[in-house]
Amino acid sequence: MGRFDGRTAVVTGGTSGIGRAIALLLGEEGARVYVAGRDEERGTSVAHEVTSRGGDGRFVRTDVADDAPVASLAATAPRTVRSSTASTASMLMTRLG
């Protein structure tokens, strides 16, 4: 049992670097991880890796410089979370720059 079983995290900038590392560590601890980023190929790859490490990885194409994709992410993650065992996102990790 991982420290984050049953919890949900949204990691912006999760397609590379520190964001990717955070997403993978959360996955290893059992979290459902929304990997948010601009690069669909890398994001999908990270989401699959999160899942292979014991979490539930999902990629959401998001550019945090644009309000519309951020609003979509905010609407998508909680709606999906409500359909599972949790009611809200437990963690939000942002990496900008």
CATH class of 11-74: alpha beta
Query: Per the confidence metrics, is the pTM higher than 0.85?
Result: no
pLDDT of 91 > 70? The answer is no
pLDDT score recorded for residue 84: 43
In angstroms, rounded to a whole number, what is the distance separating the alpha carbons of residues 40 and 77? 17
Q: In this predicted model, what pLDDT tens digit does every residue of 45-85 receive, in sequence order? A: 999 999 999 999 999 988 878 888 777 777 776 555 444 44
Q: What does the domain layout of the chain look like in residue ranges? A: 11-74
Q: What token pair was written down for 37?
A: 């980023």
What is the enclosing helix (H) or strand (E) of 11? strand 8-12
In angstroms, rounded to a whole number, what is the distance separating the alpha carbons of residues 74 and 51? 21
